[in-house]
Amino acid sequence: MKFKILIDDRSNDEQLFEEHGMSILLETANHHILFDMGKTHLFMNNAIIKKWNLKIIDIAIVSHGHIDHCGGLSYFLDMNHHADVYIQKKAMGHFYSLHHDGLHDISFPHHLIDDSKLQIIEGNLKIDSIIQLFQTTKRDLFWPSLNCTLFEKKESEMCVDSFEHEQYAIILEGNLSCLISGCSHCGICNIVEEAKILLGYYPNIIIGGFHFASDSRQEIEEKQIIIKTAEYLKKTSAHIYTMHCTGEKPFTILKEVLGKQIELVTTGEERTIENYENCNSI
């Protein structure tokens, strides 16, 4: 199994573009999978620079309805005419983020709703023996504090975002079980617990952003959430690759607990994972 970071908030390569967003290319023996498409077309620009072929992607997954994960979808659809794109029906709602100057619309590009390549689903879906999409209703473990700044409009009423539009993927290959998440708004520990129920064991690999606050907002409370999250993840023995909304300061706290078990990956990086025994020694 191999994964490549098409776009992230950070880049260690000055030739590559970065933006607040996430897009990952995963390669298995049977599939080329695109997980999220960033905020704009920049993930495709990076693919061209890196000579990563997006035309061979056969499955694309939208993790949730926020623009920094699906804003580049229209560009992908224009370029790739055969991949099925899996998205939760509720991800096509109206979503907003609260900033100092008010609410900003961060919704899914609604002009794409009728595109025939979209596979609109509700709830869990097993695509094949390799890929399973799932959601979680669990909320009891370490809910990210930044979720309070995110809203959705239901009919004419503005509500705090429920994240019922968020989905995750389990990807299997050999003795590897990879859990991939976008922002993990429902809390990465809740998501891992749900994956454990589906698999019967903890996933070997976890990839995704964890949506922690990187500034001084609720700093003491947030640090405790991050430490408890790290302690939970440590007992899974999974090797963790994180990025995007985890933030550099929260990553430092996670690293203190998890050590070599966790890596921060950025735009343009790629990893090949050959077997689980090697994962925790990478």
**189-244 residue pLDDT tens:** 999 999 999 999 999 999 999 999 766 555 667 888 899 999 999 999 999 999 99
Residues 6+ apart with CB under 8 A from 114: none
278 residue type, one letter: N
97-122: per-residue pLDDT in tens?
Answer: 999 899 999 999 999 988 889 999 99
14-50: per-residue pLDDT in tens?
999 999 999 999 999 999 999 999 999 999 999 999 9
Q: Are the beta carbons of 160 and 173 closer than 8 angstroms?
A: no
Q: What is the pLDDT of residue 143?
A: 84
Going from the C-alpha of 278 to that of each of 10, 125, 238, 272, the distances in angstroms are: 27, 30, 11, 11
Q: How confident is the model at residue 146 (pLDDT cuts 50, 70, 90)?
A: confident
148/58 Cα distance (integer angstroms) = 36
The predicted model gives 57-84 an average pLDDT of 97
H or E segment and range at residue 266: none
Domain ranges of the chain: 2-279
pLDDT at 129: 94
* pLDDT for the residue numbered 281: 40
Please give the model's pTM, rounded to 2 decimal places: 0.95
| Nearest of 79, 85, 7, 78 to residue 42 by alpha carbon | 7
Candidates 3.30.460.10, 3.60.15.10, 3.20.20.140, 1.20.1370.20; correct CATH number of 2-279?
3.60.15.10
